[in-house]
Amino acid sequence: MSELDLLYTDVENDLRRTVRDALRDRVTPSAVIAMYDGDRTVVEPLWKTIAQDLGLAGLLVPEAEGGLGASAREVATVCEELGRVVAPVPFLTSAVVATVAVIGSGHSVVADLATGGTTAALAVPFTTAPHGALPHLSATGGTVTGAVPNVAGALEADVLLVPVDESDGLAIYAVPVAGARINPVVSLDMSRQLADVVLEAAPGTRVRGDGEGSLRAALRTGAAMLASEQVGIASWCLATTVEYLRERRQFGRPVGSFQALKHRLADLYVSVESGTAAARYAAATLAVGDSDAEVATAVAASYCGNVAVTAAEEALQLHGGIGMTWEHPVHLYLKRAKTDQLAFGQPGEHRSRLAELVDLPVGSGEADGGSADGGPVAAPPGREIS
Amino acid sequence: MSPSTDDAVARLAEQVATFLANHDPMTTDRIEFLRARFDAGLAWVHFPVGRGGLGLPRELQPMVDAMFEEAGAPDNHPRVNVIGLGMAAPTLLAYGTEEQLDTYLRPLWTGEQIWCQLFSEPNAGSDLAAVATRAVRDGEDWVVDGQKVWTSSAQNAHLAILLARTDPSLPKHAGLTYFICDMTDPGIEVRPLRQITGEAEFNEVFLTGVRIPDSNRIGAVGEGWKVANATLNNERIAIGGGPVPRESGMVGVAAAAWRSNPARRRPDLHDRLMQLWVESEAARLTGQRLRQKLMAGQPGPEGSAMKLTFARLAQQLSGLELEVLGAEGLRYDDWTLRRPVEVDFLGRGPGYRYLRAKGNSIEGGTSEILRNIVAERVLGLPPEPRVDREIPFKELAK
Ligand SMILES: Cc1cc2nc3c(=O)[nH]c(=O)nc-3n(C[C@H](O)[C@H](O)[C@H](O)COP(=O)(O)OP(=O)(O)OC[C@H]3O[C@@H](n4cnc5c(N)ncnc54)[C@H](O)[C@@H]3O)c2cc1C
């Protein structure tokens, strides 16, 4: 049995450097902070750089469909770098989640996405777990009707990819945003601002029938890649805090020489390392289509979601008063980390799914009927939102 | 892998196959087999030629081990000689003389000689540089007097690595020297030290007029701290070997308890089980990642981080196992004073596992000390203020 490589390849490291250089020049904390006051001017040029100039929008798209045919490993590396600067670009929502949902459909939207000329968003709530309830909208006569709250990436999108209920299952329709109502939501994380989407007989075209598998694969890839973004967030928080504590002096010593703080940072380092390993493994399994990908994703999603939040919370606390200020960027990371923890399924939802996958059933073997203490149960595929 | 390592892999595989063809594991005497394997350089392939190795990259070792295992070859009881294989061997390789390597490496590897570690003392645990056991030069020998404590396997050991003070007029880190000590010397008395599990896995060791020839000194006089650090770095890295399967170790035990006790499944326990399962899996992958990083290089301080994680998980999972078992967890398997040759977590009962796991965050450096190491050597945070750095050892408050 050969084990998957959990380190970064030379190609991935080159890619990381390229992305990092591009971001260094173009995204600053103050530009991201401005988004909380409604100034979104940083988004478009930055996204153009990432998607078109660097060509990263087509990373996951096979060459035959107009993309670069790279794998989840490279995408994960990009997500780490984007997380490290809380980049306000729809890479995850468009180039990863929306793209995976339509790859192989034969529809022209795939090639448009691959060039970065078109940006798409999957019309499902950002909180949807890969195994969770999906929205079901309805279509008649080439128009789609329904509403989906808390959609990530909709504000940047040209096209919405919408799950539509058809007699033989869930289809995916492409709906140009011109025909949709997209109501921005005042979001906890304004660097990935959400929107409520309302479609009233919006013109759309059918991209694929039998779309449930693709939708779930898209969400699973989203959850796995989000774990790498979370690793990027956590790494920044750790490195920045270590840096600060080495400089900051109180009681005649650098505060980083106080053991209570050193031990907290040592523990955080251990978690970030574990998170990196878990996220790398998830990316590696997706990259080669390994049968362990679903377990790997559930592990990474449930582990890394908490690591990023802990890292951001520790960073804030250990920066003292400065950490509470609007000027210091740590709040951007906290808001992104907390939001990410709720996205694509919370850690607990992933653990519930994992319990099924690895045969560790919840609850007692005796049917006690008491759902009150029946523990977390995976949400049945339902029709919650219409 | 690059084409050149592909070549190396093929050549090495052929070497192992030829060796196995010439030494049938079924008919060859166990020790003869192991000696021949050492002589063929197939013990530690990354060790030098003539020293049990072939000077090849460390990453080729798992393949060799797997081939021998598949052929049903005898192993060298790696769990009995943990200190010899994990600590004495790399220390010898780094600081030993040619003569010491000639004498000690082969019987160490074959398991003919078991090693123990005479480091800790009643007043020198975490603060290992505070050892007071004296070694005084007498002609070609050193004469050693003192007391060691918590020495695992001393009752079975033939040899020991020993840290002793050779110059108390120097500051504590400077006056130490490192020796190989013969455990059969008449001046050595080993007394079992019973521990919370009921058994006596470790001992007190009293050294009275123990004579150690100067040829058994490792490293220069006064350089013992440097040599000991090489040993400790290896101690903390003990994650070698090949891939570890999912659910191995304590998480597998806890998962098995869960699967076989449907009536005791409660949501609160399930929540903790799944959290620890995820953390164990992340730790397993972290170990894999670290191993991949270290294959070519030397163990770094990152190994301390792994030890921290494994100690915590072993403790939390063994505690959870008892809770899942409920009433059954109230029973203990055996309180008799035994002197085991190896720690047998999986062979003993859940109560034993719970109690013994408490030692995981103490033995080989406490979790507090390991956090200091991670913070200072990995993260580069400033050291604690040191009050004893410049003071001669004999003037320190004891
Ligand atoms: C099962 C087992 C097997 C062992 N086998 C061996 C062996 O084979 N050979 C051998 O030589 N030794 C062995 N030991 C000894 C072991 O290495 C020591 O027990 C250990 O290093 C701790 O030292 P101590 O017991 O003196 O604790 P102390 O050093 O007295 O520590 C007491 C407490 O203070 C904390 N502490 C100490 N210094 C600091 C600091 N600077 N910052 C923060 N906290 C601190 C410790 O973490 C601990 O919680 C073994 C121990 C165990 C439990």
Does B376 contact A at CB distance below 8 Å?
Answer: yes
Which of B171, B140, B52 lies closest to B102 in space, CA to CA?
B52
Distance, CA of A98 to CA of A196 (rounded, Å) = 17
Quick one: pLDDT at residue B244? 86
Instruction: Tell me what percent of the residues of chain A surpass a pLDDT of 90.
Output: 92
Q: Are A88 and A32 in contact (CB under 8 A)?
A: yes
Condensed to tens digits (0 to 9), the pLDDT of residues A16-72 reads 999 999 999 899 999 999 999 999 999 999 999 999 999 999 999 999 999 999 999
Residue of chain A whose Cα is closest to the Cα of B289: A6
Q: Which two tokens stand for residue B168?
A: 């108390």
Residue A366's pLDDT is 47
pLDDT at B285 (0 to 100): 95
The average pLDDT across A200-211 equals 97
Q: With bands split at pLDDT 50, 70 and 90, how would you rate the model's confidence at A378?
A: very low
Determine the pLDDT at residue B69: 94
- Under the banding of pLDDT at 50, 70 and 90, the label for residue A377 is very low
What pLDDT, on a 0 to 100 scale, did the predictor assign at position A329?
97
Segment B198-220 shows an average pLDDT of: 97
Mutate to test the pocket of ligand 1, among B85, B91, B120 (most ligand atoms within 8 A of CB): B120
| Integer Rg of chain A from CA | 21
Secondary structure of chain B in the HEC alphabet? CCHHHHHHHHHHHHHHHHHHHHCCCCCCCHHHHHHHHHHCCCCCCCCCECCCECCCCHHHHHHHHHHHHHCCCCCCCCCCCHHHHHHHHHHHHHHCCHHHHHHHHHHHHHCCCCEEEECCECCECCCHHHCCCEEEEECCEEEEEEEEEEEECCCCCCEEEEEEECCCCCECCCCEEEEEEECCCCCEEEEEECCCCCCCCEEEEEEEEEEEEHHHEECCCCCHHHHHHHHHHHHHHCCCCCCCCCCCCHHHHHHHHHHCCHHHCCHHHHHHHHHHHHHHHHHHHHHHHHHHHHCCCCCCCHHHHHHHHHHHHHHHHHHHHHHHHHHHHHCCCCCCCCCCCCCCCCCCCHHHHHHHHHHHHCCCCCHHHHHHHHHHHHCCCCCCCCCCCCCEHHHCCC
What percent of chain A lies above the pLDDT cut of 70?
94
With a Cβ cut-off of 6 Å, ligand 1 is lined by A 259; B 116-117, 119-120, 125-126, 150-152, 202, 359, 362-363, 365-366, 368-369, 372
Residue A102 has pLDDT above 60, yes or no: yes
Asked if the model's pLDDT at residue A385 lies above 80, the reply is no
Nearest to B286 among A277, A361, A373 (CB): A277
What count of CB pairs under 8 Å joins A to B?
A: 150
Does residue B5 surpass a pLDDT of 80? no
Model confidence at A369: pLDDT above 60: no
Closest to A301 in 3D by CA, of A376, A239, A352: A352
Whether A265 and B368 lie within 8 Å, measured CB to CB: no
- pLDDT tens digits, B276-286: 999 999 999 99
| Chain B residue nearest residue A351, CA to CA | B274
**DSSP three-state, residue A201:** strand
Ligand 1 pocket mutation pick from B362, B367, B381, B398 by most atoms within 8 angstroms of CB: B362
pLDDT score for A25:
82
Q: Whose Cα sits closest to atom 48 in ligand 1?
A: B366
Q: What is the pTM of this model?
A: 0.91
Nearest to A159 by CA among A107, A224, A209: A107
Mean pLDDT calculated for residue range B98-114: 97
Lowest mean pLDDT among A46-50, B139-143, B231-235: B231-235
At residue B370, the pLDDT reads 94
What is the C-alpha separation between B297 and A211, in angstroms, rounded? 48
Give A253-287 pLDDT, tens digit per residue.
999 999 999 999 999 999 999 999 999 999 999 99
Using a pLDDT cut of 70, give the percent of chain B over it: 96
Confidence of residue B398 (pLDDT cuts 50, 70, 90): confident
Structure confidence at residue B4 (pLDDT): 61
Please report the pLDDT score of residue A2 as a whole number. Answer: 63
What whole-number distance in Å separates Cα of residue A96 and Cα of residue A53?
17
For the CA of B148, the closest atom of ligand 1 is: 11
Which residue of B286, B290, B387 to mutate against A (max A Cβ within 10 Å)?
B286
pLDDT at position B257: 97
CB count, 10 Å around CB of A279?
Answer: 34
Q: Note the pLDDT tens digit of each residue in B46-83.
A: 999 999 999 998 888 889 999 999 999 999 999 899 99
Give the span between the Cα atoms of B268 and A241, in whole angstroms.
34
CB pair distance less than 8 Å for B292 and A359: no
* Residues ≥6 apart with Cβ < 8 Å to B39: B106
Assign B243 a pLDDT band (cuts: 50, 70, 90). confident
With H, G, I as helix, E, B as strand and everything else as coil, classify residue A95.
Answer: helix
A199 phi, psi to nearest 5 deg: -115, 125
DSSP classification of residue A286: H
Give the pLDDT band of residue A352 (cuts 50, 70, 90): very high
The pLDDT value recorded for residue A219 is: 98
Determine the Cα–Cα distance for residues B194 and B202; give it in Å rounded to an integer: 7
d(CA A314, CA A334) in angstroms, rounded, equals 10
Res A386: pLDDT: 33
What is the mean pLDDT of the segment spanning B233-238?
64
Quick check: B380 contacting A, CB < 8 Å?
yes
Q: Which of B82, B119, B150 to mutate to test the pocket of ligand 1 (most atoms within 8 A of CB)?
A: B150
Mean pLDDT of B313-331: 95
Interface test with A, best of B63, B126, B274 (most A CBs within 10 A): B274
Question: Is the pLDDT assigned to residue A382 strictly greater than 60?
Answer: no
Q: What is the mean pLDDT of residues B340-351?
A: 91
pLDDT average, residue stretch B167-194? 97
Is residue B235 part of the annotated active site? The answer reads: yes
Confidence of residue B237 (pLDDT cuts 50, 70, 90): low
3-state helix, strand, coil in chain A (%, to 5): 55, 15, 30
Higher pLDDT, A384 or A22: A22
pLDDT-derived band at B7, boundaries 50, 70, 90 = confident
* Mean pLDDT, all residues of chain A: 93
Q: Give CA–CA dist A259/B383, Å, rounded.
A: 9
Residue B125 alpha carbon to ligand 1 centre in Å: 5
